[in-house]
Amino acid sequence: KNQVEQSPQSLIILEGKNCTLQCNYTVSPFSNLRWYKQDTGRGPVSLTIMTFSENTKSNGRYTATLDADTKQSSLHITASQLSDSASYICVVSQLYSSASKIIFGSGTRLSIRP
């Protein structure tokens, strides 16, 4: 069964600290993995996208890693800011899927405290 699981479900950290969010998937055949940031009541915004051959991709203070062998990904946030408070969703696509379904994780709700 194609699934995407994220952990932790929620996380609270102090402003300025780093954190790492995890994503495990069983989607096959794998095409790509994306991390989205979703503010409450808004649409998701893409942070990174990685294909099978990519191990690391950065977008400012966000760094995503991918281990296609173990089917794991992580999103590392450096020097967190209050504006980082949001849900972070891991999304995996199957190979050769153009206009077809993608599989969403349940998300990690991150809260940054001052």
Partner 1 sequence: DTEVTQTPKHLVMGMTNKKSLKCEQHMGHRAMYWYKQKAKKPPELMFVYSYEKLSINESVPSRFSPECPNSSLLNLHLHALQPEDSALYLCASSQGSGQGPDTQYFGPGTRLTVL
Binding-site ranges for partner 1 (CB under 8 A): 31-32, 34, 36, 41-46, 49, 51, 89, 91, 93, 96-102, 104-107, 109
Q: Which one, 71 or 109, has the nearer CB to partner 1?
A: 109
Neighbours of 80 (CB within 10 A): 20
Closest distance between partner 1 and the C-beta of residue 86, in Å? Answer: 13
Q: Which one, 29 or 96, has the nearer CB to partner 1?
A: 96
Q: Which one, 34 or 64, has the nearer CB to partner 1?
A: 34
Closest distance between partner 1 and the C-beta of residue 67, in Å? Answer: 18
Distance of CA 82 to the CA centre of its chain: 18
* Dihedral sign (CA 77, 43, 51, 5): positive
Closest distance between partner 1 and the C-beta of residue 96, in Å? Answer: 7
Q: Which one, 3 or 18, has the nearer CB to partner 1?
A: 3
Number of helices and strands (H, E) in the chain?
0, 11
Sort strands 30-38 and 86-94 into parallel, antiparallel or unpaired.
antiparallel
Decide if 24 contacts 5 (C-beta within 8 A): yes
Closest distance between partner 1 and the C-beta of residue 43, in Å? Answer: 4
Neighbours of 105 (CB within 10 A): 24
